[in-house]
Every structure is written in C-alpha cells, then in structure tokens.
Structure 1
Amino acid sequence: MEVDAVVVGSGPNGLVAANLLADAGWETLVIEATPKPGGAVRTEELTAPGFRNDVYSAFYPLGAASPVLAGLGLEEHGLRWRHAPAVLAHVLPDDRYVLQSRDLERTARSVAEFDERDADNLRAEHASWRRLREPLLDAIVRPFPPVRSGARLFKTLGTAESLRLARMLTLTARGLGKEKFDGAGARLLLAGNAMHTDLGPDQAGSGVFGWLLTMLGQDVGFPVPEGGAGRLTDALVNRLTAKGGEIVCGTPVTEVTLSGGRAVGVRDADGRTVRARRAVLADVPAPVLYRDLVGAEHLPARLVSDLDRFVWDDATIKVDWALSSPIPWSAAEVGQAGTVHIGADLDGLAGIANDLACGRVPHDPFLLLGQMTTADPTRSPAGTESAWAYTHVPRGESWPDSRLRRHADRMEEVIERHAPGFRDLIAGRAIAGPAQLQKGNHSLVEGSINAGTAAIQQQLFFRPVPGLGRADTPIDRLFLASASAHPGGAVHGAPGSNAARAALARDGWAGSVYRATVRAAHRAVYR
C-alpha cells in the first residue's frame, strides 16, 4: 500500500495533522494501535449501563479556545460544547471553597469572600487577559518560534509589558498568586489549576499554567463535548473521512522505515509495510518514536544521550463512578461546578508536590474531580451523576489490583469528608492505574498523561529535548506530532497542526531550501 502521508496514532494531534494534510489534497492514512480512534479522547460505559464515562480526558478549555481546532469547523461535523452552571470549585480542608463561574461578577464575589480587594484584582486581571488573549493563544499554538504571532503580541503589549510577561512565565504559582491577589481564594484558583500539570505551586513556571487555565475558565469555561469526549474524536474522524482520509485501527506500528536518511513508510506488527511518498507523522511520545520506531543507530548520538534525560510527568490513578444521585456536598454550591479540586490548601498542594518529587505516594491525595452529568445531562440517566476523579502518584510504583482498590477507597474517603453520604450513592466503579491507562492508550506510558513534564526545562526549544522546538526530526520527512512536541499537553491540536505545517513546507516549492535549513540547524544543535 502507498499513500502520501502516514500518521501513526489517532489521538487528537494525529487526527488534526491528518485533517490538515487531507485539506491540502494529500492521500492520508492514520494507523492506530488500539481498536478505536481517539487516543486520550474517548468515551465508554465503564461503570454501569447508561452511564457514559470519559476514559481519559474530559474538560477542554484549551480545546474550546484553540485557534487550531476553531479552524477545522468541527461543529459542522457534530461537535457541540456543553457547560456546567459553574466552571470550577476548589474545596479547602475546612469546607470553605472558592467558585469560578463564566460570570465574572460571580467569581469576583467568591474570591472577595477571602479578601474583598480581590474582586477588583480579578476584574483587572481579566481585562488584561482579554487584551492579549488572541495574540497570546496564537503564539502558543503556532510553530516555534512564533514570529508573526509573537510580533502581534509584542505590538499589543509594548516593550515594558512584554518584558514583564516574559518574567511571569518563570514564576511559581505561589509567587504569581502573591503578586496578583491578596486572599487565599484567588491564589488557590491559580495553584489548583497549575496542578492539572505535574507542577506544584512552588515549581518555576507553574504560575503561567495556573494563570492560563484560570483565565480560560473565566473566558470560555471548562466545556465538555455533548455526549462524551468521544464526540470530539467523532467530529475529527468525520471531517477526515469526508476529505478522503482513512483510519485503520487495531494495527500497532513497530517501525518507521528509512531509506537514505529519509522516512519512507512504516511497518506494522504483522510485518506489513505502508509506503509514504511525502511524510510520516508520529503522534506518539518522543522516546517511543526515537528509541522504538526509529532506533538509536539512525539518530545523532547527542539526541540519544538527551533522551536519557527526558523527564516524564507523574503517573496517574483514575476512578470513575456511576452515582445514584448528584454528589451531596456540604457546601451545596460546589455541586454546580463541572470541575472540583479537593484535598488541600496552598501549603497542602506544596506538600503533595514534594511527596511526588520524593517518590512518595501522598497519604491524603489531591483530587481533580469531574461532575459530568452536571456539565452534560446526556451522560447518565435523569437524577443520577456520572463522575470521576484522578490523582497523581510517583512513577515506577507497583499497583496490583488490591493496592489500586485501597487507593481508590482513600480517594473516596477524601470526597466523603466534604460530601457525607457519597459512598452510599455508588452504583458502579471502575479503577484505572498506570498499567491500565497505558494498556488502553499506549502513549500514556506508565500512566503519564502529558507525554513529558511541563517543567520549564522541557518547554519551548527544550521540548522534547534541547533542539529546535519544532516538529521536524533529524530524519528527513519524519515529524513529531504528539504532546511531547511544543507546546505540550492538553487537547488543543497544536503539535499535530505544527507537524502538518512542517510536512507541507518540506514538500512545498521551497522544500529543498527548507530541508537544507532544518538539516543545518540540526547539525548545530546535535553535533
């Protein structure tokens, strides 16, 4: 079989890349190892009949705001966003809470309960966000370096504010919270949202992640696809097949085939080959692509050495529940939030992050919880709730079923403290530890959900290793299209879009110049 491009992996980045290549008229084949497309964007009935559970990811603020996904017009292919009455609640150990709503004044009232000055602080921060939103998001999702969008951002901010924005990128969530806000509530919004990555509140660079998610939550909310996360995948698949693209599932790729230093196709586990006339794009983690599919013998020695220092994000344990009624929170307003952070104040978050850094399983886990029927009533029968929670644990731990069950029980104890009677509502439960997550999605290596740490030393031109910060690899016509590439994790489609753009540029009228430039740059960084 021969096509213009082979895309390895059908996660959102792979599907975005395939769509953009199909838009350009390329004959495109997506090859997926598992039985269904979608990667970490899938929905199944895991807990009980009639309860639709998002197997991995669930809320998509960056997806709703992404210029990449917006450009695909997925609403024309069946995607519809739904919102909970409130965006997010962070519940403290003493049952106080801060609530974020898309209604700015409602959020302002909530943060003002901790310090009245923060109502105005939040309004001012939101006004600043609205001013730089468009050029900033464009700069984030476009290929590195983002010359045009970066210039727009600089024009919007000017020299002085651009310099201070650059400084903000390095701050911890705790430090940024102290600079922006006066009370614990608003500061917790930043720190709790930073914990959606693998960064604790005292790690450099955590502030910007917390700030970005907080501002997006205020702006577009934390929306979910109606009917389940899998509907986002369905929309990408529908669009691709309408453009003539093809997807083959249940076919693990074991090798990227090379000839003369160029990627020319792939070989699957049954020994079958597919030839790629123009490009191979890989929506798999960087270590998997380079070590397993290409092989160290075909790569610069320095890149191979750098891979030894590649840092994965923390492992994950996720529990899904079918509940006979909504969660009975002691603070009733928390029941309106789609996303709930539970288990720690700011110092508690720091302690949990320290436990993880030291290789210890936190005794009282910090939970990120989703109330899915609250956000989308189609997820379960009327009067019930489809819910989940996940927590991070150190990599390298052994999690036999008995230990997983005990940890799930501990997670339920955390919820029970703030919602007495929660356990009595459980009609079904499904537990996924690191091994189960990887079995269902081969890219979630040992339960790492972001294809590499979000820490500052593995961002921009340090992602996935020190280099160009681009999708181009040292192998001609082979492109990294996964979250291991800039700008990293979350469902926004940028790595896939950037890989498709690079493939099109390499094959374009100036392709020979493009190749020579990239080749010279790779020689400089890997010699």
Structure 2
Amino acid sequence: MVKKNPNNSRNKKHLIAVNKTKKYDAVIVGSGPNGLAAGIVLAQKGKKVKIIEGSDSVGGGARTKFLTLPEYKHDVCSAIHPMALASPFFASLPLHQYGLKWITPPFPVAHPLDDLPAVIMDLDIHKTANGLGIDGDAYLKLFKPIIKDFNALLPDLLGPFNPVPKNPLKVAKFGLNAIRSAESLINSKFKEKQSRALLAGLAAHSIQPLDNIATSAITLILGAAGHVVGWPLPEGGSQALSNALADHFTFLGGEIETGNMVTSVEQLTDATTVLFDITPKQILAIAESKIPDFYVKKLKRYRYGPGIFKLDIALDGPIPWKDENCKKAGTVHIGGTFEEIAQAERQVFEGKHCEKPFVLLAQQSLFDQTRAPNGKHTVWAYCHVPNGSTRDMTQPIEDQIERFAPGFKDLILFRKKMNSVEMQAYNPNYIGGDINGGIQDLRQLFTRPANLFDPYRIPDTSFFICSSSSPPGGGVHGMCGYHAAQAVLKYLG
C-alpha cells in the first residue's frame, strides 16, 4: 500500500512507502563500515536486508589493495583504527571468528621534532607524561578522568545529540574541556614544546583550523583512546575488518551485491526502506525528486571540508628516523611544532596549499609482516589540501618525512599518488577529497546532516542516512550505521 501523507503541508510531491510485502525490509546503498554495521543490526532482528555496492569489493573507506608493487599491501583510505577497537557495537560482534586480528603497536603515536627527541604517546599514560617535562602533571590531570570514564562516555559521544545524556555528569565534565578550540585548550594548559606539538597533532585529525570550537573534543577522544585501546591496525590490512563485517552479515542471512552503482531510487523499488551509506550530495543525485523540498534545501546547504592528497610508497627498508623511537609507533605525526601545524591547517582551510604540510603517516609493515616482502616496507601518508585540489603534493610530503628521516627518499621503490579529485573517483563518498563525509565543526558535529530531532530518517519518506554524514560522523566505528538501523527498526515497527 502506498499512502499519501495528509500532514505534509510543506511539500506535496512525494509519497510515503509503507508497503511491507516487498522483497526486502531494507536495501542499503554502500558497503562501508557504517553500511555493513546497519545491515548487521537489521539482520540480527530477522529483517531481510540487501547491501548494494558500486565497487567490486566491500569496504568503502576500509579497503586494502596492491597499489604499488606486487606483494605490497596498502590501505587505500583508513589504516589505523582506535575507534573501531573502542566501538561498543563492533565489540559486541564475533569478528575474530572471521579471521580479524588486531595488532597494537607499542606506541600509538610518535611526533618528531627538529631540536628535541620525538614526543611519544605510550600506551601507558604515566610513561607519556614522563616525557612531557613540566607539562606531565597537566597531561595526567587532563586525560586521566576521560580514561576512567571512557567506556561510560562512548554511548553519548558516539551517537546523535541527546539533550538528556545517559551519563549526564560524566558528559558535563568532559564538555568543560571539549566544547572549546584545541588552540584554546593547548594554550591554557601546556607550555612545553613537546606537549603542545603532541596535542596539535591529535587536533589536526579534525581537518580544520585548530581555533575552531570542538576541535578539542576530537583531540581528547583520540588521545584517551590511545591510552585505553591503543591505535591498532588489522592484520592484513583494513580490508580484513570489512571482510569480517561482511562475512558476519551474510552469516546472519544478509545479501551483498557488488559492482552495481545505484544512480536512482527507481532501482530500489523492491525495498520497504532504503539506507544511504553515502553523503548528502550523492543522495540528492539519486533521490532528490522523492525528498521533501525543505529537506532538499537543508542537504544542499550541507558543507564539506578540506580534502587530502594521499601517497602510498613501497620502500627498500624501514624509514630511517633520526629518533629510533619512531620505529615503535604505528602512526607518526609529521609537522613540527604546534605553531607550524596550526598555521598549516589554517592555510588549507583558507584554500591554500602549504609547503610544509602536516603529514599523517602510518608504517604498518613494521608490525604486520603480511604487508610487504621480507626486509621491505610500506608507507601510508597523506596531507590536507583545499577541497577538490588537483595539486601534486608529493614533494612537500616527502620533504617533511626526509626532514626527520634523512635518507628516506633513497629507499623509495615505487609510489602511488592520489589527489583529492582522484580520491573521490575512487570512493564517491569522498566529495572533493573530504574523508569525513562533511566538515565536523560545531555546526555539523552532532546535528549532521540537518538540524532535526531524528538525524537519520529523511522526513516523510522511507529513506534513511547511515553514512559518516550522520552522527557521530567520520571514523571507522560503525556507530552511524548502528543508530540509523535503530531508526529503521522503529519505523518498521
């Protein structure tokens, strides 16, 4: 049965699909971690679910391919997964039964400096604080309460905005330092070059200027995760996580179809509900004529952030860091001081290309022997650039690495470059190279994609958004898909 909505005075062009005799209770467009998570939740409740993926393999932003030379495995997009291991939903799944193994490097993060030893984030918070000089006590005072409350905070932090949090006192205490800019937080609490650089590197994961409000929230969550679960990587590559999720989904009875790019909702008429693991711009291209006008306007106002320029490199040996401690870190933040990183991120946000960019680098092959031939290594690195940039940032990235690892360039055997436009061509969710599915500033952190009470359902339709363009936003944690699936279950009754 198709029923017209008599209460819709804003837009009369669409109909509400309430037919529950269709072949599928839900069809999910896109098989990223959020799409797979949504599928698993629905399948767990006995719903008949199909996932349709445009690419030839599942995974979205969590795929692994041979991008450079034979036998060199590279994570095409996401690589290091603190929030995947911390995710309450992923933790509830038997993913180890499908071969998923997590590797946790001794140091989550190393941050080399020109005139000082590298700053090290150890799994042990006290060891980290010991390396921060007079700022050690301030670091402990800032992070120990968050670490203590970490698991209690996650249901509120990894979900849509809730005016009545599940743990209101803990959330309020966290918010005292979280609802401010990283720049303000760092300037008010830290004096030493080492601590300021470490916090700036964490803040730069927000892909926005460090003086934007709420950049401190991302700083605190990533820092605390480093001490609670580490910054792990899946053995064999990020594809291992995607494959485990897909295998569990099909075990529960779900169906997956790859190699089918959905271009119109008319392709999805055999579904009672449709979940989009894609961003607002793509949803409009597929379904604008079926969406209320007022909501179309909201989606057209949705804002995307800076893009990235990505390098995958096959090396003849390990990176020759000046500070040997960097070889014990899965992730290395390259950008120098707080001031340098803040300037670089501000320039990108203003539409400029930085000659000394902040570089995020992962060296998975130091800890996972499946990534490269014996004695050889891989490098995963990217920097931020203006959205839609086509500039080749290879030299600035490699110069930054060489700055702290002399001789690095001599080890390069082969490199694969991807600018922002090429990133979007590879994964259409990365609009202009934006890997977070939209900028995660205060306006779009908890209320994405539109400021509505239910952020997952497209009003007056049977369509739902389950991508990183919905709360809680970017990152590999599956919680966008989990919460969207709860909204679908409520709709299906």
Structure 1 length-normalised TM: 0.86
Within 5 A, what are the aligned runs for 1:257-276?
A: 257=266, 267=267, 273-276=268-271
What is the CA-CA distance between 1:342 and the residue it aligns to?
A: 0.7
1:238 to 230, 247, 254: 247
Distance 1:164 1:135 in 2: 12
Say if 2:147 and 2:227, in contact at 8 Å, map to a contact too: no
In 2: Cα distance, 1:458 partner to 1:249 partner: 31
Task: Specify the alignment match of 2:287 in structure 1.
Answer: 294
Alignment of 1:44-443 (within 5 A): 44-94=65-115, 96-112=117-133, 115=134, 118-145=135-162, 147=164, 150-151=165-166, 153-155=167-169, 157=170, 163-257=172-266, 267=267, 273-277=268-272, 279-289=273-283, 291-295=284-288, 297-397=289-389, 399=390, 403-404=391-392, 407-443=393-429
Letter in 2 for 1:121: A
Residue type of the partner of 1:109? N
Residue type matched to 1:472 in 2?
R
- Pick closer, same or farther for the CA change 1:240–1:5 going to 2, 3 Å: same
SS in 1 for 2:438: coil
CA offset digits 1:182-226 (Å, max 9, x no partner): 423223222211211212221111111111101111211110001
Task: Determine the C-alpha separation between the residues in 2 that align with 1:234 and 1:396.
Answer: 30
After superposition, the CA RMSD in angstroms is 1.8
Alignment partners' CA distance in 1, 2:365 and 2:186: 32
The whole-number CA distance in structure 1 between the counterparts of 2:368 and 2:122 is: 16
Instruction: Tell me, in whole angstroms, the C-alpha distance in 1 between the residues paired with 2:328 and 2:39.
Output: 37
Question: Which whole-Å deviations, capped at 9, do the CAs of 1:78-124 have from their partners, x for residues lacking one?
Answer: 21100222110112344542111112232122222xx3xx2233333
SS class of match (2:31): coil
1:497 matched to 2:490? The reply is no
Preserved contact between residue 146 and residue 224 of structure 2 (Cα < 8 Å)? yes
> What is the Cα deviation at residue 378 of structure 1?
2.1
- Deviation at 1:332? 1.5
Residues 139, 146 of structure 1: 8 Å contact kept: no
- Alignment gaps of 5+ in structure 2: 1-21
1:449 maps to: 435
In the aligned structure 1, how far is the partner of 2:254 from the partner of 2:33? 15
**Displacement, 1:139?**
0.9
TM norm structure 2? 0.91
Find the residue that maps to 2:212 and give its secondary structure.
coil
Contact 1:173 1:205 in 2 (8 A): yes
Counterpart-to-counterpart distance in 1, 2:56 and 2:451:
35
| Aligned match of 2:451 | 466
| SS of the residue 2:201 aligns to | helix
Measure the CA separation in 2 of the matches of 1:241 and 1:448.
Answer: 30
- For 1:146 and 1:285, the matched residues in 2 are separated by 25
Q: Is the 8 A contact 2:56 2:258 kept in 1?
A: yes
Q: Give aligned pairs, total.
A: 472
Does the Cα contact within 8 Å between 1:6 and 1:276 map onto a contact in 2?
Answer: yes
Can you list the C-alpha shifts for 1:380-439, whole angstroms capped at 9, x where unaligned? 123222111100110143x2xxx52xx212211111111111011111211111122112
Q: Deviation at 1:73?
A: 2.3
Retained in 2: the 8 A contact 1:340–1:370? yes
Which residue of 43, 48, 62 maps to 1:27? 48
C-alpha contact 2:304 2:439 (8 A) present in aligned 1 = yes
Cα distance in 2 for residues equivalent to 1:194 and 1:244: 41
Cα distance per residue 1:129-159 (max 9 Å; x no partner): 2332122111122444275xx23x225x4xx
Task: Say which SS state the counterpart of residue 318 (structure 1) adopts.
Answer: strand
- Cα gap change, 1:422/1:204 in structure 2, threshold over 3 Å: closer, same or farther? same
Higher mean C-alpha deviation, range 434-443 or range 136-145:
136-145
Unaligned ranges ≥5, structure 1: 258-266, 268-272, 509-527
Deviation, 1:469, is 5.2
Equivalent AA in structure 1 for residue 387 of structure 2: R
Q: CA deviation at 1:274?
A: 4.7
SS of 2:265's equivalent? strand
Distance in 2 (CA, whole Å) between partners of 1:169 and 1:302 is 32
Amino acid at match of 2:407: G
Q: Does the 8 A contact of 1:13 with 1:494 survive in 2?
A: yes
Query: Does the residue aligned with 2:156 lie in a helix, a strand or coil?
Result: helix
Compared CA separation, residues 469 and 337, structure 1 to 2 (3 A): farther
Quick one: distance in 2 between partners of 1:411 and 1:199? 19
